[in-house]
Structure 1
């Protein structure tokens, strides 16, 4: 038993090691390119070393909170995540429901299709003035923009998953005389889960993009507000640090959704 445990640990470590090396190599290349660009006297881009020295206080203490807008990046990211969770959750609930409805009935599919095709290409920033006119407050406006940005991939992927259910599954449901609820939970939902999670994963990334755009124009806190404030102060180093935070949080959210998808969807 002990030998097997050691072998499992070794194989897991070896697998992670093989995956980390290419990632580390890519990051090193990026840092080198960044440094070389910063050497150009015609650019104001700070080098990686200057970014670290300029933002050292923010790096070593992301948890400080002196009230108002004077707080660390942890709390700013948390403010943004709160808006994302709210808007994204609404989009997930409504998107999955609408996706099932339009895929199971031809009339509703024809009714919703022009609306989806008309609104889906609209950029998140284009919704901001309308959201402000409707809600008159920054937070509901930002949440609405997140919702309207995230909902489309959820609807489309859910509908696609239902449409691609093999006919054999439907025949089995009829032979076993499943009720509507049995058919949904034993046939429809398990068969469409991979597609639903694909939509949810895409929507989560779009939500993170939308909240930053919204906060840059509407909010008084959050990571988007931090970027605008740094820009107004001509502090490029703080902007770069915020971008790194944004990328890191986005990566973590994507990995979490991928893990949930792996655990909850049926594996072939």
Structure 2
């Protein structure tokens, strides 16, 4: 009787493990963990062998342990923990990106709805879109005469182009049948906007927003290296000037994690508003 119970328990355990292995989440966790472990192992080996003149992962962890466990340390001036540095950068990104989202979506819908306006504005968009974010910083400093609004302007001008362009594409991709139905039903401009234009362009808009938030986070880190003060970009530059390579590595990891969270958050909201429809790349 006891052996039969043990056999049933073993069978259930094997069935559970088999089911778990088929799980996509389980597979991602296991493979992701293996990937990270392999990366750290290669890094450790190359650093110990002298191929890379970088501290090993264990050295980085040892040298930055106090920094990691006290992210909201509050000192004087710019001497604050990584948590405050990241929050300061996120605040700048939130302001600049929000302005870019509101203005960019509105302009994109307006331009995409008018062929004549699109033809007039498209050359300007194509010329300004490839300009690197940091190229705008001297112009912003000259115009605004202050580091803080200049950094926010760099975020705004960096994020707005993909938002405008993707919104324009979304408006222009609305099927003609939708427009014909709107004419037959004699929908008002308000009803056309709310019931046809907005639902049809949501996936495109959120593609632009995802690109914009990624570029915003990239731009603020670079801009803060030049404007100084509190912020994750300045923290990295200040650590470089002090030859604190381990702190730079930890900060870069934090930057990557925050960037991933921002991207996935925008994508999640986009899927909710588009009823699960994938955004367009």
With normalisation by structure 2, the TM-score equals 0.88
Q: Which residue of 2 aligns with 1:204?
A: 213
Q: Which residue of 1 aligns with 2:152?
A: 143
**Pairwise CA distance, 1:14:** 3.7
Asked if 1:166 is matched to 2:175, the reply is: yes
Match of 2:73, SS state, is: coil
Asked if 1:21 is matched to 2:25, the reply is: no
| Alignment partners' CA distance in 1, 2:185 and 2:24 | 44
Asked if 1:153 is matched to 2:138, the reply is: no
**Pairwise CA distance, 1:18:** 2.1
Range that drifts further, 109-118 or 15-24:
15-24
Asked if 1:48 is matched to 2:57, the reply is: yes
Q: Which residue of 2 aligns with 1:222?
A: 231
1:70-85 matches, within 5 Å, as: 70-85=79-94
The verdict on how the C-alpha distance between 1:80 and 1:172 changes in structure 2, with shifts beyond 3 A counting, is: same
| Alignment partners' CA distance in 2, 1:219 and 1:182 | 48
| Alignment partners' CA distance in 2, 1:258 and 1:246 | 18
**Pairwise CA distance, 1:42:** 5.8
The verdict on how the C-alpha distance between 1:42 and 1:267 changes in structure 2, with shifts beyond 3 A counting, is: closer
| Alignment partners' CA distance in 1, 2:99 and 2:24 | 38
Range that drifts further, 35-44 or 161-170:
35-44
Asked if 1:129 is matched to 2:138, the reply is: yes
- 1:139–1:219 contact (8 Å) kept in structure 2: no
Out of 40, 43, 57, the position equivalent to 2:66 is 57
Q: Which residue of 1 aligns with 2:5?
A: none
- Runs of 4+ off more than 4 Å: none
Q: Deviation digits for residues 2-22 of structure 1, max 9, x if unmatched?
A: xxxxx9xx98x9442122122
| Alignment partners' CA distance in 2, 1:231 and 1:241 | 12
| Alignment partners' CA distance in 2, 1:40 and 1:235 | 21
Out of 62, 70, 76, the position equivalent to 1:67 is 76
Match of 2:229, SS state, is: coil
| Alignment partners' CA distance in 2, 1:25 and 1:234 | 31
Out of 254, 261, 275, the position equivalent to 1:252 is 261
Structure 1: runs of 5 or more not aligned: 1-6
Range that drifts further, 158-167 or 23-32:
23-32
| Alignment partners' CA distance in 2, 1:102 and 1:40 | 57
Structure 2: runs of 5 or more not aligned: 1-15
Query: Please, what is the CA RMSD of the aligned residues?
Result: 1.7
| Alignment partners' CA distance in 1, 2:55 and 2:161 | 38
| Alignment partners' CA distance in 2, 1:181 and 1:26 | 51
| Alignment partners' CA distance in 1, 2:232 and 2:97 | 17
Out of 104, 108, 116, the position equivalent to 2:117 is 108
- 1:154–1:200 contact (8 Å) kept in structure 2: yes
**Pairwise CA distance, 1:264:** 0.8
| Alignment partners' CA distance in 2, 1:62 and 1:77 | 10
Out of 14, 21, 43, the position equivalent to 1:34 is 43
**Pairwise CA distance, 1:43:** 3.8
Report the structure number with the largest CA radius of gyration: 2
